[in-house]
Amino acid sequence: MTKVTDNIDVSVVIAAWNSEFFIEKAIFSALNQSDVNVEVIVVDDFSTDNTISVVESINDSRITLIRNKSNTGPGGARNLGFHLAKGTWIAVLDSDDEMLPDRLSQLLSLKDKDTDVILDNFYVRNNMVDNLIPYYNDTDLPLGLFTLSYLIRTNLIFSIIKSTGYLKPLFKREFINQNYIEYWPEVRVGEDYYFLACCLAKSAKAQVVPYIGYIYNVRGDSISSVLSLQHIHTLLNSDFKFCQIYSLDALSIDSQDIRTKNLQRAYKYLEIVNLIKKRKFLKAIFYSILFPRSSFLLHLPISKRLNIFR
CATH of the domain at 151: 3.90.550.10
Domain finish residue from 175, 201, 223: 223
Assess if residue 1 is contained within a domain. no
Residues 34 and 114 in one domain: yes
Q: Does residue 186 sit within a domain?
A: yes
Q: What was the pLDDT predicted at 296? A: 67
Q: What is the pLDDT of residue 299?
A: 58
CA 296 to chain centre: 29
121 and 266 together in one domain:
no
Q: Classify residue 4: in a domain, yes or no.
A: no
**pTM, rounded to two decimals:** 0.90
Structural domain harbouring 264:
226-309
Domain count, the chain: 2
Same domain, 94 and 119: yes
- The tens digit of pLDDT for each residue in 159-172 reads 889 999 999 999 99
Q: Which of 117, 118, 92, 97 is nearest to 211 (CA)?
A: 118
pLDDT < 50: residue spans in the chain = 1-2, 221-225, 301-310
Evaluate whether residue 2 is within a structural domain: no
Same domain (yes/no): 205, 260 = no
What is the tens place of the pLDDT at every residue in 261-301?
999 999 998 888 888 888 888 888 877 887 787 776 765 54
Residues 254 and 186 in one domain: no
Q: Are residues 144 and 234 in the same domain?
A: no
Last residue of a domain, one of 191, 207, 223: 223
Tell me whether residue 3 is in a domain.
Answer: no
* Residues 44, 97 within the same domain: yes
pLDDT at 225: 47
Instruction: Identify the sign of the CA torsion 228, 229, 231, 235.
Output: positive
Provide the CB-side half-sphere exposure for 274 (13 A, CA).
10
* pLDDT at residue number 286: 79
Residue 213, in any domain of the structure: yes
Distant-in-sequence, close-in-space partners of 224: CB < 8 Å, separation ≥ 6: 309, 310
Residues 90 and 56 in one domain: yes
Q: What would you measure as the largest C-alpha separation in the chain, in angstroms? A: 68
Q: What are phi and psi of 11, to 5 degrees?
A: -95, 120
For 204-240, the pLDDT digits (tens) are 999 999 999 999 998 754 434 467 899 999 999 999 9
Q: What is the structure's pLDDT at 187?
A: 94
Boundary of a domain, candidates 206, 223, 240: 223
Identify whether residues 195 and 296 lie together within a single domain: no
What is the model's pLDDT at position 310?
Answer: 37
- Does one domain contain both 144 and 162? yes
In a domain, 64, yes or no: yes
Does 299 share its domain with 182? Answer: no
Give the closest residue to 42 by CA, choosing from 56, 184, 34, 33.
Answer: 56
Per this entry, what is the length of the chain? 310
